[in-house]
Amino acid sequence: MALFAFVISGVFTNNGGTGKTTVGEINGESISRQDFAFKVENMSRRYGANATTLQVVNQVWNQEVRNIVLEQQFDELGINIEKDQILNVVRANPGISSNPNFQNEAGVFDEGKFIEFIADMKANNPMGYEQWKMQEDVLINASKEQSYFNLIKAGVGATLKEGELAYHLENDKVDIRYVQIPYNTIPDSAVSVTTKEVEAYIKKHEKEFTQESSRDIRYVFFEEKASDADIEEVKSELNKLLDQSVEYNQSTKANDTIAGFRTTNDIADFVNRNSDVKYDTTFVTKAQLPTAYADTLYNLSVGEVFGPYKDGAFYKLSRMVAKKEGGSVKASHILISYDGTGAQPKEPRTKEEAETLAEDLLGQVKADPSAFAALALEYSEDPGSATRGGTYDNIPEGQMVPEFNDYIFDNKIGSIGLVETDFGFHIIKVEDKYDVVQLATIARELEPSEKTISDLFNQTTTFEMTSMEGDFQEVAKEGDYMVRPVNKLSALDENIPGLGNQRTIVQWAYNPNTEVGAVKRFGTTSGYVVVQLTGKRSKGLATAKDASASVLPILRKQKKAALIKEQNSGKSLEELASSNNVSVKGASELTMKNPSILGAGREPKVVGVAMGLSQGEESNLIEGENGVYKLSVSKKAIAPSLDNYATYANTEKTLNRNRSTFAAYSALEEMADIEDYRSEIY
C-alpha cells in the first residue's frame, strides 16, 4: 500500500509482486528477487561501510518475513488503515508533524501543506516520491502492528490466584540440611552410553534437536608476507643509505659523491626520497618511541644514527635531529565557562559569575592541591578531561590555545594559576614536564617480493593438488602447515574464524557440486587459503553423531544418578554423608523464585521437594542438576495470607503483557512455512 499515493489519488500501490525468480516464500507468498534487491540497495546506501551486503540482506529478509507473516494476520482479522485514519498516522509521527514545512504559522501540523508537498514531489521529484512511499509503508505497518499487538495485550492478564502464587513463590521460605553427591565423583568411563540410547533421546526430544543445514570445513592459510630473503634485502638497502656513495652523472659525464644519511645536510629531502613514510618534524617523548628501542633512540646524540631496526611491519633507520628540554607537558585544568564562550556552561552564568567561581576554586586547589581531580570532576566544563581529573598528558607546544599554552610552558612543575581564554576561565596545574626529541626516520615496509609471491602461489598450488589426491591432514603435517577445523557453517555465514569475511568459501561449501572431501584454493587479501569440505548436514533431525556432544552429558548424568541412588538407597542423611566422604551442609531462606542453594548452584527440583515437605521431614534421594541430594527441612515459613493479591497480580499482568509481543510474533514465525533461497543468490 502507498499512503501518499492514496492521499493524492485515492489508490493504494502494491510494491510487491511475484517475479520469475524469488528470494523466498512465506506461507505461499513469494518475495520478488527484484523487489528484494531494490530494498537491499536502498538500505546499503543508508548504512554505507558500516554493514556488509549479507548483513543488510539478512536485515531486509527478517523485515520481509515479519511484514508478510503479520500482514496475513492483519488480513484475517480485518486490521487496516482507512483513508480517514492515514493522516492521523502521519500526524502521530513526530518526524513528520514537527517538520516546519508541514506546519502553519502557529506551529501546528497542516494537512494541506503536507498534501501539497507530496503532490509536488510526485510531479517533480520521482526518486524522492519513491522514498516517501517506502517511508509510508513503514508508518502504516507500524500502526497496524500496534493495533494487532494491542489486541493481544488486551487478552493477556493475570488472575488473583496467579498473584497469590507469585506472592508465595517469592515469600515462602525453607531452611534445609542437605547432602550432595556430585555427578563428577563418578568418572565418565564408569558409565557407557550406546548410539541407540542417543538416538532414542533425540527422537524423544525432536524439537530440541531439529537442525538447519550446515557444513564442516578445514583449511590451511598461507600468509603472503616478506620472506627472510626479502627482509635481508630491505636491511641491505637501508645499510647502503648510511654512508656516502658514488654515482655516475649522465649529464656531467662524471662521478658524483652522494651524501649518506649520517652526513646529509638536507635531512628532509633525503628521508622523503628514500622512505615509505614522509619526513615528520614532530617532537616526541621517550614514552612515544618504539618500546623495544626507546632507550637507545632517546639517548642518541644529535647527528647520531641507529639502525636498521624492526618496528612493526617496517625496518627503519633513525637519526637524532634535535632535543628539547620540557618540550611536552602534563597539565590538569578546571574550565569554568560562561554564556557566549566557545564552551557550554553547565548552567547559565555571566562572565563575572564565572570569574568569581573560578577564583574560589583556585583558592581551594592552592590550599589543597590533592583536591584538584575531585573538583575537576564536579565543576569542569571540559568533557574531554573532566572524568580524568582534568588531566591532559603529552601536550606539545602549540597544541593548546595561546594563553593556556603560554602558562603551562612558562611555569614550573607544581604551579597553579588562573588563565582566561576564549573558552572561559581555566584553573591550571602544571603536573609534569618531559624532554622531547626529534628523529628523522627512514622506514621501509616489509613487503613480499615478486619472487616470494610467485613461490607462495606455487606452494599453495602444490598443496592443493597433493591434498586432492592424498589425505589433507597428512599432507599438511608433512609440510608443517597448521590445519584449522571450522564446524557447522550455516548457508548464510560469511565470517570464518581466523579468516574473516570469506563468503565465497561458504558458497563453495554449499554448492551442490561440491562433494565431501573436495579441496579448493581461494585467494584472500593477505594470502591464500586451501579448504577441504569435511562434512554436510541436511535440514532435519540431527544424527547421533551430530548431537552426541549435547546428548552424551545428559545421558551420562542420568546413569550416574541411577548408580548413586542404587548405591545409597535407605541411608539417613548422616549415613549418606559418611559413606560418600562428604559433609552435611545447611542452606537458609530458600525460595522458589530463586531456587539456588549456596555451595550447590541452581536446583529448582531440590528446592521444590523441600517446599513440599513438612518441618522435620526427610526426603528421598533427589536427582538434581549438579548431583544427587538428600535433605531434611529444619525450618519452614509459609508467608501469611494477604487480604488482596491485586498488587502481585498486576505485576504478573505487566510482565505477561511485556512478553506477549515477542512471544506472539515468535510463535507466528515458528509456525510459518518459510522457504529461504537467499544463500543461492547472495
Total-model pTM: 0.72
Q: Does 168 reside within a domain?
A: no
308 and 391 housed in the same domain: yes
Taking residues 409-417, report their average pLDDT.
96
**Residue 540, pLDDT score:** 93
256 and 358 housed in the same domain: yes
Q: Does 650 reside within a domain?
A: no
365 and 273 housed in the same domain: yes
Percent of the chain with pLDDT over 70: 97
What are the tens digits of pLDDT across the range 68-77?
999 999 999 9
496 and 550 housed in the same domain: no
Taking residues 534-546, report their average pLDDT.
93
**Residue 556, pLDDT score:** 97
Per-residue pLDDT at 476 exceeds 80: yes
**Residue 494, pLDDT score:** 93
Taking residues 125-138, report their average pLDDT.
83
584 and 495 housed in the same domain: no
CB atoms within 10 A of CB 442: 28
Q: Which of 507, 538, 569 is at the close of a domain? A: 538
Domain region containing 235: 226-447
Percent of the chain with pLDDT over 90: 79
378 and 409 housed in the same domain: yes
CA-to-CA separations, 9 to 5, 139, 184, 471, in angstroms, rounded: 6, 19, 74, 69
Q: SS3 for 110?
A: coil
**Residue 132, pLDDT score:** 83
**Residue 99, pLDDT score:** 83
Question: b or e along 457-471 (b: 16 or more beta carbons within 10 Å of the residue's beta carbon)?
Answer: eeebeebbebbeeee
Q: Does 666 reside within a domain?
A: no
pLDDT higher at 541 or 342: 541
Residue labelled with grid coordinates 655516475: 248
Taking residues 129-142, report their average pLDDT.
83
**Residue 6, pLDDT score:** 34
284 and 412 housed in the same domain: yes
| Residues in Cβ contact with 466 at an 8 Å cutoff, skipping those fewer than 6 apart | 475
Q: Does 256 reside within a domain?
A: yes
What are the tens digits of pLDDT across the range 599-625?
899 999 999 999 999 999 999 999 999
CATH number at residue 188: 3.10.50
413 and 391 housed in the same domain: yes
Confidence of residue 586 (pLDDT cuts 50, 70, 90): very high
Q: Are 444 and 276 in contact (CB under 8 A)?
A: yes
Per-residue pLDDT at 519 exceeds 90: yes
- The average confidence (pLDDT) of the chain is 91
Which segments of 502-639 are extended strands (E)?
Answer: 519-524, 527-537, 540-541, 585-590, 596-597, 601-602, 622-623, 627-637
Residue type (1 letter), 335: L
**Residue 234, pLDDT score:** 97
Q: Does 145 reside within a domain?
A: yes
What are the tens digits of pLDDT across the range 546-561?
999 999 999 999 999 9
214: its cell numbers: 550446515
- Number of domains comprising the chain: 4
CATH number at residue 259: 3.10.50.40
Q: Does 124 reside within a domain?
A: yes
Residue type (1 letter), 437: V
435 and 458 housed in the same domain: no
Confidence of residue 203 (pLDDT cuts 50, 70, 90): very high
Q: Does 416 reside within a domain?
A: yes
**Residue 83, pLDDT score:** 67
512 and 549 housed in the same domain: no
Which of 620, 589, 511 has its CA nearest to residue 176?
Answer: 589
Torsion of CA 356, 357, 362, 367, to 10 degrees: 110
Q: Which of 432, 447, 462 is at the close of a domain? A: 447
Q: Are 381 and 344 in contact (CB under 8 A)?
A: yes
343 and 240 housed in the same domain: yes
419 and 452 housed in the same domain: no
Q: Does 13 reside within a domain?
A: yes
Per-residue pLDDT at 13 exceeds 60: no
Per-residue pLDDT at 329 exceeds 90: yes
Confidence of residue 166 (pLDDT cuts 50, 70, 90): very high
What are the tens digits of pLDDT across the range 240-257?
999 988 777 788 777 878
Distance of CA 626 to the CA centre of its chain: 33
Confidence of residue 578 (pLDDT cuts 50, 70, 90): very high
Per-residue pLDDT at 153 exceeds 60: yes
Confidence of residue 90 (pLDDT cuts 50, 70, 90): confident
| Residues in Cβ contact with 580 at an 8 Å cutoff, skipping those fewer than 6 apart | 179, 181, 185, 568
**Residue 250, pLDDT score:** 82
Distance of CA 473 to the CA centre of its chain: 34
Q: Which of 447, 470, 491 is at the close of a domain? A: 447
**Residue 20, pLDDT score:** 45
